Amino acid sequence: MDNKVKRRLFGTDGIRGTANTAPMTPEMALKLGQAAGLLFTRGNHRHRVIIGKDTRLSGYMLEPALTAGFISAGMNVTLAGPLPTPAIAMLTRSLRLDLGVVISASHNPFEDNGIKLFGPDGNKLSDETEQEIEALMAQDLSDRLAPPAKLGRASRLVDAAGRYIEAAKSSLPRGLRLDGLRIVLDCAHGAAYKVAPAALYELGAEVIPLGVSPDGFNINRDAGSTAPRQLCEAVLEHGADLGIALDGDADRVILADEQGEIIDGDQILGLIARDMHAQGRLAGGGIVATVMSNLGLERFVAGLGLRLHRTKVGDRYVAEAMRELGINLGGEQSGHVILSDFATTGDGLVAALQVLAVLVRSGKRASEACRVFAPLPQLLRNVRYAGASPLGLPHIKTAIAAAEERLGSTGRVLIRPSGTEPLIRVMAEGEDSGLINEIVGGLCETIAQATEHAA
């Protein structure tokens, strides 16, 4: 396989787009099921795949199309229904399946949907494997599909939710309970709307649920980790100890302390890192984060005698670096937190439980315990462009180098193209907020002018 083949379908987190519009069509899902089924048919045993989804209306369209594709490739299909992405990753591994599939567009609105795949080890597929699948999808596979006697079957896993609830609960130290804690939980009308409230309730918490009435259209609408205002208001209204906001597929989490103030993924990472390090449970001498994580987190981790390793944006790349470096904690500022002792991908519920464990053991309020470092001023703006990316132009490179020189060791500049849209993301952070505003504004103007001239 030529690794230089450009991927057209797969992005940073599977395939994603507007439902019933290319590429997010039933025809594509059928072809994907056939191609992935053929690629992961290795050996003489009866091969099996599990399919989970979130609560979008279009899941009813894509699920049967994928099922038909896998069955025509000779794979047995296990249907799990609406379940968090980390639950499907966990079940793929624990049931010894050949493949796991999640139908979800994560934090996107209901009009979008997506498909992401997990290998037998519960990890997201590599870029190279996705390229192989995409190459197969471009071929005529009719001669390679299963004969009538070798077609797969479909069945439903009736205890899927219970299996995940028990796995999440087991991530807490033995004997630790949440009795006496009042928790507001916003499930974004998404995949965790049943399992997350059940897990917290079974652990003894008083749960005030939000976003647990999915109707196919309201996933992530003014709810969940990308719209936490109602979470913060509910925490104050109910006098809660903590607010937890998941996104549509529950692989990310944002928290609110008892004062209704947001706690982002960087603070969560820092808190868990310090706790695990103090207990001797942090492996690899550090943590993994992306280029977007705040410089304040990097300095905080260094103060613990640890190292922060950065990757490009995407929790898949964080997970890959964790495996390569032997590290068991990583994540993103957006709320993806990967604790590889318990999960192979971001798991919002498991991450929230680790924070709750710290609160229970310390007896501290969330506002005191969960703000482990002062974030440096950070500013991110987007510049839209048409045609080729302007980042290769000599005067753009010169402007970026000059900005980096102005900041020196007191901050950093990050310029990168979006992986999903024709946007240049311009970010800078440092100790002087005025200087950061000036640098980001200047770079955005320079890039925008270059784009106008190119047009």
- Which residues contact residue 24 at a Cβ distance below 8 angstroms, ignoring those fewer than 6 apart? 15, 16, 17, 18, 58, 62, 112, 113, 114
Place of tokens 């999915």: 214
HEC profile of the chain = CCCCCCCCCEECCEEEEECCCCCCCHHHHHHHHHHHHHHCCCCCCCCEEEEEECCCCCHHHHHHHHHHHHHHCCCEEEEEEECCHHHHHHHHHHCCCCEEEEECCCCCCCCEEEEEEECCCCCECCHHHHHHHHHHHCCCCHHHCCCHHHCCCEEECCCHHHHHHHHHHCCCCCCCCCCCCEEEEECCCCCCCCHHHHHHHHCCCEEEEECCCCCCCCCCCCCCCCCCHHHHHHHHHHCCCEEEEECCCCCCEEEECCCCCEECHHHHHHHHHHHHHHCCCCCCCEEEEECCCCHHHHHHHHHCCCEEEEECCCHHHHHHHHHHHCCCEEECCCCCEEECCCCCCCCHHHHHHHHHHHHHHHCCCHHHHCCCCCCCCEEEEEEECCCCCHHHCHHHHHHHHHHHHHHHHHEEEEEEECCCCCEEEEEEEECCHHHHHHHHHHHHHHHHHHHHHHC
Could you count the other beta carbons within 10 Å of the beta carbon of residue 437? 14
Cα 220 from chain centroid (whole Å): 14
Q: Rounded to a whole number, what is the distance in angstroms from the first to the last CA of the chain?
A: 36
Catalytic, out of 72, 106, 293, 334: 106
Kindly list the distances between the CA atom of residue 22 and the CA atoms of 16, 17, 25, 112, 244, in Å, as whole numbers in the listed order: 10, 7, 6, 11, 35
Catalytic, 126? Answer no
Alpha carbon distance 53, 105 (integer Å): 10
CA 78 distance to own-chain centroid: 23
Residue type, 399: A
Active site residues: 106
